[in-house]
Structure 1
Amino acid sequence: MKVKFIGGAGTVTGSKTLIESNGIRILIDCGQFQGIKPLRELNWEPLPILPSTIDFVLLTHGHLDHCGWLPRLVNQGFKGKIYCTSPTAAVAKLILLDSAKIQEEEARIANEGKFSKHEVAEPLYTVEQAQKVFPYFRVIKTNESIPLDAEIAAVYTNAGHIIGACTIELQLENKTLVFSGDIGRDNDVLMYPPTKPKKGDYIFLESTYGDRLHPDTDTKLELEMYINNTVEKGGTIIIPSFAVERTQTIMYLLWRLKEEDRIPNIPYIIDTPMGINALEIFINNKKWHKLSLKDCAEMSKMFMLVSDYQETIEHIFDKQPKVVIAASGMVTGGRVLTYLEHYIGLPETTVIIVGYQAEGTRGRKLLEGADEIKIHGKYYDVKANILEIEGLSAHGDQKDLLNWLSELENKPTKVFLVHGENQPLDVLRIKIQEKYGFDCKVPLMGQEFEL
């Protein structure tokens, strides 16, 4: 049995882990690389193996960095099965279609503006190619053994993080391999705590926040303060947000603040068609989260839900103070860019960052104090107030990650740390070795190991 780290090693994006056993090839996640250009360019490279030789893809969840390369995989010959939970299938369809539309739109803008270095800019994949992925999805139930082959089975358990997200236990060759996926927080506003594994010979653990603890702050109070301070200056609040889970969390917190008369009566706008559709997934999958159907219905009434792009333009040129929640969460694409083109240069504007920002993304640059950012080939001065609410992250912090390992009844042969940048990976490696005495390995991209 061999494992090869094709993505998500030494970086938080592009998650792809290949397992080979007795002629069967299983790919855990098939994510798109985001962030710095050398990583994004990897999306255009072929896999080190032929996609047609992969038998199964097991998806942990539907975020772009875990499912966003599936259209390329299918386009290059994959004919196997893609296993995931029902909410993950729904989320992945939304995210892949949205990603494809953004890819097509950015290629069109680059060609019209002639700012691409290529003679003709092309999308990474099209909407039509994204749609060709969907027939390969196979929906499974959690906590049940799913036979993949005569001697290979998988069990999905709740990972928290976002709706439908799971940890995958793969049983083969008398060994248990545990792939954490992205682990949620033990005290999340919307999601239930992740299920901790009881057994694992080889563990593949995400390390996004391996070097830090989330601050013990009142996120509602922070939101209240930032909104009220901005409105007093006559400014607009822009919250770049991941459409799934984060948008719904922010909606819930704003709704509670409004119910308590702690924030003003101004327009509250959800300008992400995908976020609106994701709300329907929440309503249709009640057992996956803490919100009641009544909560979902009541909080939705507070917001203007924008799908039509013409409405986006109208809101942009409406000078009154407002709160806008728009995708994407790392400011890499989507409608939030249209808002930022008009508002990032105004000192009365507040941009609130509410999730992890990968290296090289616009969101990361804003957090690091960039004086200007590039959008659609043009540079814009950053005069807006850039703030962060760390307490809204959907990823578990170092304490949560260590706690996730706490119920193991055996000592793993090895713990592979993945899906993290170099510093968090190394800090978490030392912490795990000190706390549990487990043998930890930080694999490099492209490395292969025999298990």
Structure 2
Amino acid sequence: MKVTFIGGAGTVTGSKTLVESKGVRVLIDCGLFQGIKPLRELNWGDLPVLASTIDYVLLTHGHLDHCGWLPRLVSQGFKGKIYCTNATKDVSKLILLDSAKIQEEEARKANKEKYSKHETAEPLYTVAQAEKVLPLFRVVKTNETLVLDPEIEAVFTNAGHIIGACTIELTIEDKTLVFSGDIGQDDDVLMFPPVKPHKADYVFLESTYGNRIHPETDAKLELELYINSTFKNGGTVIIPSFAIERAQSIMYLLWKLKTENKIPDMDYIVDSPMGVHAFSIFFDNLGTHKLSMEDCVAMSKMFVIITDYKDTIEAIYDKKPKVVIAASGMVTGGRVLSYLERYIGLSETTVVLVGYQAEGTRGRKLLEGALDVKIHGKYYAVAAKIVEIEGLSAHGDQMDLLNWLSKLEKPPKKVFLVHGENQPADELRIKINEHYGFDCVIPLMGQEFDL
């Protein structure tokens, strides 16, 4: 059996791990690279094997960095089955169609305004190509055995990261391979705690926050303080957010604050067509998260929901104080950019970052104190207050990751630390060795291992 790390090695994006055994090829996740240009350019390349020779894709969850390369895979000849939970299928459909639409729009804008370095800017994939992925999805239930082949079985268990997110236990050649996917926090606002594995010969563990401990702060209180101080100054609060689960977590906290009369009366805007559809996924998958139907209905009534771009423009030029939740979470694209073009240069604006900001993204640059940011080919001075609420991260911290390994009945032969930048991964490696004595490896992009 051979494992190849095609993506998500040394970086938190582009997750793709290829498992090959006796002529069968299984791809765990098929994510898009984001962030710095050398990573983004990898999206245009081919896999080290022909896409047509891959038999199955198993998706841990529906975030872009785990499913966003599927249209490229299909356009290059993949005709197999894509297995995931029902919620992940719904989330992935939203993510892929939205991603394709954004890429088409950005290519058109680049060509119109001539800021592309290429003679003609092309989208990485089109909406039509994204739609060709959808018939290949197959839904699996958590905790049930999926037989892929006479000698290959998979079990999906809750990972607590976003709605539908799972850890995948793959049994192959009488060995158990556990792919963590992205692990959520044990005390997440909306998600149930991740299920810890009990047996594994090989573990593939994410290390996004391998060197971080989330502060013991109250995310709800932080939101309250930022909103009230910004309102007092007549400003706007902009919350770049992933449309799936983080947006709903923020909506939930804002709703609780409003019902407690702790934040003022003003417009609370969710500007994301995908975010609107994402909320329906919560309605359709009750029992996979902590919200009741009554909660969902009450929350939805508090917010101004924007889907049409002309309403976005109207909201942008409305001078009244407001709170805006808009994608994308790492400020790499989407409608949040339109708000930032107008508000990033105003000192009364507060930008609240609530998720992981990958290397090379605008979100990371803002977090690190950039004096200006480039949006749609133009530079904008940063005068807004940039703050971060770490407690709202969908990723568990170092202690959560260590705790996730605590139920293993015997030491795995090897723990591969993936989906993390080099320093966090290495610090997590040291901690795992100190706590458990497990043999840890940090694979390089493209590296192969015989198991």
1:121 correspondence with 2:121: yes
SS of alignment partner, residue 287 of structure 2: helix
The 5 A counterparts of 1:385-400 are 385-400=385-400
In structure 1, what is the Cα distance between the partners aligned to 2:316 and 2:14?
33
> Aligned partner of 1:384: which letter?
A
Q: Which residue of 1 aligns with 2:41?
A: 41
Q: Which residue of 1 aligns with 2:265?
A: 265
The 5 A counterparts of 1:36-435 are 36-435=36-435
SS of alignment partner, residue 286 of structure 1: coil
Q: Give the C-alpha shift of residue 332 in structure 1.
A: 0.3
Structure 1 gap segments, 5+ residues each: none
In structure 1, what is the Cα distance between the partners aligned to 2:242 and 2:133?
22
SS of alignment partner, residue 119 of structure 2: coil
CA deviation vs aligned residue, 1:261-319 (integer Å, no higher than 9, x gap): 10000000000111111000001101110011100100111000000101000000100
In structure 2, what is the Cα distance between the partners aligned to 1:214 and 1:273?
31
SS of alignment partner, residue 328 of structure 2: coil
Give me the CA root mean square deviation: 0.4
SS of alignment partner, residue 288 of structure 1: coil
Q: Give the C-alpha shift of residue 163 in structure 1.
A: 0.3
In structure 2, what is the Cα distance between the partners aligned to 1:80 and 1:277?
27
> Aligned partner of 1:313: which letter?
I
In structure 2, what is the Cα distance between the partners aligned to 1:101 and 1:378?
22
In structure 1, what is the Cα distance between the partners aligned to 2:321 and 2:123?
36
Q: Give the C-alpha shift of residue 234 in structure 1.
A: 0.4
In structure 2, what is the Cα distance between the partners aligned to 1:420 and 1:4?
16
> Aligned partner of 2:156: which letter?
Y
SS of alignment partner, residue 188 of structure 2: coil
In structure 1, what is the Cα distance between the partners aligned to 2:346 and 2:380?
11
> Aligned partner of 1:445: which letter?
M
SS of alignment partner, residue 52 of structure 2: helix
CA deviation vs aligned residue, 1:309-334 (integer Å, no higher than 9, x gap): 01000000100000000000000000
Q: Give the C-alpha shift of residue 110 in structure 1.
A: 0.4
CA deviation vs aligned residue, 1:387-415 (integer Å, no higher than 9, x gap): 11001001000000000000001110000
In structure 1, what is the Cα distance between the partners aligned to 2:30 and 2:188?
26
Q: Give the C-alpha shift of residue 215 in structure 1.
A: 0.5
CA deviation vs aligned residue, 1:152-208 (integer Å, no higher than 9, x gap): 000000000000000000001110000000001101010000000000000000000
CA deviation vs aligned residue, 1:124-168 (integer Å, no higher than 9, x gap): 000000000001101011101100001100000000000000000
In structure 2, what is the Cα distance between the partners aligned to 1:60 and 1:218?
29
**TM-score, structure 2 normalization:** 1.00
1:11 correspondence with 2:14: no
Structure 2 gap segments, 5+ residues each: none
**TM-score, structure 1 normalization:** 1.00
> Aligned partner of 2:429: which letter?
R
In structure 2, what is the Cα distance between the partners aligned to 1:178 and 1:325?
35
Paired residues in the alignment total: 451
Q: Give the C-alpha shift of residue 5 in structure 1.
A: 0.2
CA deviation vs aligned residue, 1:70-119 (integer Å, no higher than 9, x gap): 00000000011100000000000000000000000000000001111111
In structure 1, what is the Cα distance between the partners aligned to 2:102 and 2:387?
26
Q: Which residue of 1 aligns with 2:23?
A: 23
In structure 2, what is the Cα distance between the partners aligned to 1:332 and 1:300?
26
In structure 2, what is the Cα distance between the partners aligned to 1:122 and 1:437?
49
Runs of 4+, deviation exceeding 3 Å = none
CA deviation vs aligned residue, 1:402-445 (integer Å, no higher than 9, x gap): 00000001110000000000110000000001100100000000
